């Protein structure tokens, strides 16, 4: 979308700041209230899909009623010239995902501070009967003043009951088992995702990863998460317990709501190693077992849901900002053997438990059988109803309509582009890119377009047609009426060019803005029809205006691993300059210490970014020690000072063998000593007076 355009005659688009799976995000200005806002605009490829438009609108409806300091507020939603947009609070900061990547892992206090604010925002949504369904670090923003805000209710859905059935799934690394299975989703599904986010904050990684979204989803269903203490041994006990409770496979074993979770987080702050987190005992199989048939369904779901999965930062606006736990319960306490022993002989209703060898169907199979019976009854009822209706002729017209709709839906719909003023070759190229065909219906005289230019198109621009449809056009055979030659305005400022064109009696349309390396921002690159073409006073001439050089935003890679930093710089359209490796006591080996140019700046595509990468802590410099026994103290002191060492008299003694102020012994007397180390020595006071004879004393 062009910078500078207005939406709804109110919101001015200033610059693009991010992109998500369905929408692009722009920084804009609300000219009515004179404030900066974020404008989310549905991507071009999705505007033609009614399902995406409906999903986009549902996001706005879900979030518009939420007013909370820990939620990105939605101000407005609308549609203008086929652009579906949503106006939101502009948050200047970075995502939690970026913050974790920068720091590696967060401290106990940081985790709790962020988690409490995150849970407060999510809790406000739950109170309004809205389940987020896509909680992940990418959707948590940390503003420049430290405020944490939840955003992107892209697959949120309002509900009036405590659970709803939905196939909507969030990003697979953070999805709850019930979301992965395609079953019920409720507030506890969000709490599971919160737990995975907490895990990533304290360990710097997600608990489950794999080669595909399906493999990750199956791990959520079948595998227990690795206790964080195995990755971060010094994690506080209470924090690990909180994470384990949030990520229980069985939703009943998780926190019932965010308020209960917040209470434990606050308690963990004052009592990190306290044993106060209560995880309800197992009442049924905690790990979900899925059948082969269900696995096929899950594959299908994820093929559909995750082809367009993204982790883009929708609010990455270039701003810069600027560990932990033993297992909550061991395997012996809640393993299968213990469970069988504790409840042996009783079923969950208090009755006598049947052995595995008994022939009775287990309770879970009973439930499945009851559901199947209900489904069969409903199917039989529908068959009878359809048979009777068809015999009475009720469904004939319905059948025709349904078949017509099905046939129409099988073909992809695309919008017809504007071809007026284009040559036949230009039109063919544009249509080919859209998957459409081209046909000249006839040639006619035109009072707007000169010979050879398209003057009419049978299907108007903007209308939707099936792919491979041939678009018929009428080509001008002759320009009739008073002819005007389009002047060459390339290189002129837009306003001056417009005055010149209008001075020739030409009607000027809305300018098109494009990047250019040859023309400065605001200068005209060319026109359609082109300079030298013949038009009439009714012909609309469009100017192509330069947006300037295509500048790239230099990413912030300080603190990131060397390979990751270089990959990010290349993906931003820049290249790697000089990479220097040096010791740094504050930065982990292999991570970027500094970059040049600095992040956030705009640079031409292909600009080189220089990096300084840490080689880890600088090793201590060793000094080879010399032995100064028998030498004067001043020699030792001077040598030690010159070599960066300290020298200190440990004690002073009388000695008949060493002159006064000479060194009797030193420690160490040989070997090496780290720079800054200390040599301790014994200093001679000369001969002991008690050993002197009377005659010597007299002398």
Residue 21 confidence (pLDDT)? 66
Residue stretches of the chain with pLDDT short of 50 = 155, 158-170, 284-292, 294, 297-298, 301-364, 395-411, 697-699
Same domain assignment for residues 603 and 637 = no
Report the CATH number at residue 438.
3.30.10.20
Cα–Cα nearest to 440, from 467, 466, 475: 475
CA 257 remoteness from chain centre: 25
Asked if residue 178 and residue 84 are part of one domain, the reply reads no
Whether residues 373 and 418 fall in one domain? no
Asked whether residue 353 is assigned to any structural domain, the reply reads no
The reply to whether omega before 180 is within 30° of 0 (cis) is no
Query: Which tokens is 547 given?
Result: 């947006």
Q: Using one digit for the tens of pLDDT, what is the confidence trace for 598-655?
A: 888 888 888 899 999 999 888 877 889 999 999 999 999 999 999 989 999 999 989 8
3-state SS record for 263-324: HHHHHHHHCCCCCCCCCCCCCCCCCCCCCHHHHHHHHHHHHHHCCCCCCCCCCCCCCCCCCC
Q: What is the pLDDT of residue 662?
A: 92
Distances in Å between the alpha carbon of 638 and those of 632, 642, 651?
Answer: 10, 6, 19
Q: For tokens 């359209």, what's the residue?
A: 573
- Count of structural domains, the chain: 7
Contact 315, 93 (CB under 8 A): yes
Whole-prediction pTM = 0.45
CA 184 to chain centre: 25
The H or E element spanning position 36 is strand 35-42
Question: Is the bond leading into 597 cis (omega within 30 degrees of zero)?
Answer: yes
What is the maximal distance between C-alpha atoms in the chain?
A: 148
Residue 31 belongs to a domain: yes
Q: Is residue 408 in a domain?
A: no
Which range marks the domain in which residue 493 is found? 484-546
Given 90, 109, 140, which residue is the final one in a domain? Answer: 90
Q: Is residue 24 part of a domain?
A: yes
CATH at 279: 1.10.510.10
Residues 243 and 297 in one domain: yes
Domain identity same for 323 and 373: no
The runs of H, that is alpha helices, within 141-232 are 177-181, 187-203, 213-222
* Element housing 6 (H / E): strand 6-7
pLDDT at 511: 80
- Contacts made by residues 455-459, CB under 8 angstroms, sequence distance 24+: 455/420, 456/420, 457/416, 457/419, 457/420, 459/416
- Residues 639 and 628 sit within 8 Å (Cβ to Cβ): yes
Do both 114 and 233 map to the same domain? yes
156 prior amide bond cis, ω within 30: no
Quick one: DSSP state of residue 92? -
Q: Which amino acids are annotated catalytic? A: 134
The CATH number of residue 78's host domain is 3.30.200.20
281 is a domain residue? yes
- Domain membership of residue 352 (yes or no) is no
Shared domain check, 6 and 70 = yes
User: Does residue 235 sit in the same domain as residue 340?
Assistant: yes
The reply to whether 205 and 308 lie within a common domain is yes
In a domain, 124, yes or no: yes
Q: What's residue 693's pLDDT?
A: 59
Peptide bond into 529 cis (omega under 30): yes
Is residue 298 domain-shared with residue 390, that is, in the same domain? no
Cβ count within 10 A of residue 359:
5
DSSP structural state of residue 479: E
Residues 65 and 4 in one domain: yes
Domain final position from 576, 594, 614: 614
Task: Collapse the DSSP code of 255 into the 3-class scheme (helix H, G, I; strand E, B; otherwise coil) and give the result.
Answer: coil
Domain assignment present for residue 358? The answer is: no
Do 234 and 322 reside in the same domain of the chain?
yes
Which among 479, 506, 531 is the end of a domain?
479
């Amino acid at each position: 979308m062009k910078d500078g355009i207005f939406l709804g005659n109110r919101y001015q688009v200033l610059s693009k700041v991010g992109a998500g799976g369905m929408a692009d995000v722009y920084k804009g200005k609300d000219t009515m209230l004179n404030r900066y806002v974020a404008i989310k605009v549905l991507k071009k490829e999705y505007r033609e899909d009614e399902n995406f438009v409906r999903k986009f609108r549902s996001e706005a409806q879900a979030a518009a009623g939420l007013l909370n300091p820990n939620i990105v507020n939605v101000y407005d939603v609308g549609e203008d010239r086929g652009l579906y947009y949503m106006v939101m609070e502009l948050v200047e900061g970075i995502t939690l995902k970026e913050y974790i990547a920068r720091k590696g892992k967060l401290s106990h206090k940081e985790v709790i501070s962020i988690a409490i604010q995150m849970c407060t925002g999510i809790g406000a949504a739950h109170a309004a009967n809205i389940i987020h369904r896509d909680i992940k670090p990418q959707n948590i923003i940390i503003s420049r003043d430290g405020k944490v805000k939840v955003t992107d209710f892209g697959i949120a859905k309002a509900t009036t009951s405590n659970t709803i059935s939905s196939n909507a799934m969030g990003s697979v690394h953070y999805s709850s088992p019930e979301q992965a299975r395609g079953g019920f989703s409720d507030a506890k599904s969000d709490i599971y995702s919160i737990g995975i986010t907490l895990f990533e904050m304290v360990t710097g990684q997600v608990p489950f990863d794999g080669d595909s979204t399906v493999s990750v989803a199956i791990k959520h269903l079948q595998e227990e998460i690795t206790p964080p203490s195995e990755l971060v041994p010094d994690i506080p006990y209470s924090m690990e317990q909180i994470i384990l409770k949030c990520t229980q496979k069985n939703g009943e074993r998780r926190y019932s709501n965010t308020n209960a979770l917040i209470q434990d987080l606050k308690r963990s702050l004052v009592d990190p190693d306290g044993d106060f987190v209560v995880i309800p005992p197992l009442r049924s199989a905690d790990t979900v077992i899925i059948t082969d048939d269900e696995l096929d369904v899950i594959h299908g779901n994820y093929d559909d849901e995750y082809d367009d999965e993204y982790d883009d930062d929708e609010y990455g606006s270039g701003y810069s900002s600027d560990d932990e736990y033993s297992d909550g319960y061991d395997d012996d306490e809640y393993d299968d053997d213990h469970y069988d022993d504790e409840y042996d002989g009783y079923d969950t209703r208090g009755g006598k438990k049947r052995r595995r060898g008994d022939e009775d169907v287990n309770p879970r199979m009973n439930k499945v059988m009851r559901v199947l019976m209900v489904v069969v009854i409903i199917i039989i009822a529908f068959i009878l109803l359809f048979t009777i209706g068809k015999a009475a002729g009720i469904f004939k017209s319905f059948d025709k309509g349904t078949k017509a709709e099905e046939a129409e839906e099988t073909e992809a719909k695309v919008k017809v582009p504007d071809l007026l003023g284009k040559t036949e070759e230009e039109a063919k190229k544009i249509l080919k890119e859209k998957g459409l065909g081209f046909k000249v219906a006839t040639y006619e005289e035109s009072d707007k377009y000169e010979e050879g230019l398209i003057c009419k198109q049978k299907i108007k621009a903007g209308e939707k047609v099936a792919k491979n449809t041939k678009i018929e056009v009428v080509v001008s055979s002759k320009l009739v009426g008073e002819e005007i030659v389009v002047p060459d305005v390339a290189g002129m400022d837009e306003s001056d060019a417009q005055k010149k064109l209008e001075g020739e009696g030409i009607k000027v349309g809305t300018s098109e803005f494009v990047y250019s390396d040859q023309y400065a921002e605001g200068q005209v690159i060319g026109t359609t029809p082109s300079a030298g073409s013949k038009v009439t006073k009714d012909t609309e001439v469009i100017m192509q205006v330069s947006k300037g050089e295509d500048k790239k935003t230099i990413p912030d890679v300080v603190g990131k691993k060397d390979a990751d930093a270089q990959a990010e710089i290349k993906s931003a359209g820049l290249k790697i300059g000089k990479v220097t490796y040096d010791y740094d006591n504050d930065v982990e080996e292999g991570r970027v210490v500094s970059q040049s140019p600095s992040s956030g700046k705009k640079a031409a595509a292909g600009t080189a970014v220089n990096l300084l990468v840490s080689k880890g802590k600088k090793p201590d410099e060793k000094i080879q020690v010399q032995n100064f026994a028998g030498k004067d103290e001043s020699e030792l002191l001077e040598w030690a000072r010159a070599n960066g060492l300290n020298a200190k008299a440990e004690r002073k003694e009388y000695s008949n063998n060493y002159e006064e102020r000479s060194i009797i012994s030193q420690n160490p007397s040989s070997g090496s000593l780290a720079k800054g180390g200390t040599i301790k020595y014994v200093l001679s006071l000369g001969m002991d007076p008690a050993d002197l004879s009377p005659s010597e004393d007299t002398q």
